[in-house]
Chain A
Amino acid sequence: MSNIRMRDEELIEGMKNRDRKVLAKVLSLCENSPERANFLLSKLEKKLSHLIGITGSPGVGKSTLTSSILDELKNKNVGVVVVDPSSPFTHGALLGDRIRMQSHATSRNVFIRSFASRGALGGLAPSIFEACDAFEAFGMDDVIIETVGVGQSEVDIRNVADTVVVVLSPDGGDEVQMMKAGLMEIADVFVINKADNPRAQILKSRLNAVLTMGKKEIPIFLTNALTREGVKEFVNALDERFQKMKENETLAKRRRQKLFHHVKASLRRELDDLIDKSEVKGLVMNKDFLELKSLFVRELCEKYK
């Protein structure tokens, strides 16, 4: 929750001065008052950071891989958002991704922030777009976004990240699993982690075989995040990819998509709030479907008049 007592001007000044404590407060604003955060962040210049999404099933090693990526990025400023699920019953959450990356808690070039998914179903948190903007406004070179442990169809990271890394572990299943729509489709890069497992090579050749059926060329990296084996090559490839994306316009295209999804998410959130509030105020009594719908549309229009 955290009450933010600082005024907008103070927050903007603090962000410009790269004050870590102010970034912490701005990220809380993103979570708790996203529209105020959007307003504030629109006043700030943003660096074009490489937004790297790390996704995959629970326990494949996303957090450990993130930590080993940070080991390789000592010369860069890096923001990290890690998302863990909220309870559908109590809305509480246990955020445990930091455990694997606490060696970077005191790294001056790294800023790690844990978000709860707060009802979002696509593997991310409702304020993920605002969080990315905050890190870009802070001047981060790279931003790593780690999703919750996903199943086959939580693919929202595709609308946020410039590069989506799908992490697999060698005990993942046969090639039909890899041909399914959803998660396997959104990868820009595959990482097979826990490469010390002999089955990692088998998975790689199966994945290769499946990928050759498609049109897109997607690189596969083998890593052992615990020993950092293969991580350097993978991180270098991420960098090269981002440089290329900047040159050949694919980045501009991805960012355009991201902007639309940000607006969509923000509008939905405002509409949700408006409907919830109207219900509380009792404005919705005795109205039929069409009356209600036009009431909410009018209220939203009124706000942006």
Chain B
Amino acid sequence: MAKRVKTDIGTAAAVLDFDTELMLRVKEGDGASFGVLLEKHRSSLVYFLYRMMQNHAVAEELAQEVFLRVYRSRSTYEPTAKFTTWMFRIATHLALNALRDGKNERAQDRLDDDTSDMPVRQVSDRRPSVEQSMVYRAKLDEVRRAIAALPEKQRVAVLMHKYEEMEYSQIAKVLSCSESAVKSLLFRAYETLRARLAHMA
């Protein structure tokens, strides 16, 4: 690559918490840094919200609201926590409110028909047969129902632990509780999931 144009963002890359640096630059009026944060976290945020709400349109709507709130808060932003902790805290708050408001009230109905746009896993270069696809979709349906049946906080904890690969300490910060409370939530959640899904081995 040719001679690199040195930017402030370039300097920030060397700092450990890159996201916080980026957010501080957004606070200073650097719109491009907001774009970098969006590019980095768009997918994981939408996926988390999708698994929470089990409705793709609602998940994207909520993810937009999260980014909008991040952008609106730029002038008052203080790096008191990791950027992702802050972002997921906003997302969790919005998702739990939306669930209570019944925004995903059709989600349970959709469990039956919303799997058509899900990527079907492929083993190596072999395309799955119709039968394999049906088995996969049945399993997927069972997984989604099992997750949906978990109490809200247990669901958040499992999704962050399993899919976002967050440490207990970060989940605790997102949920504003102790690490031992998170472990307890996960213990109960996985116990329930084992009872429902262990036969899928």
B partners with A: no
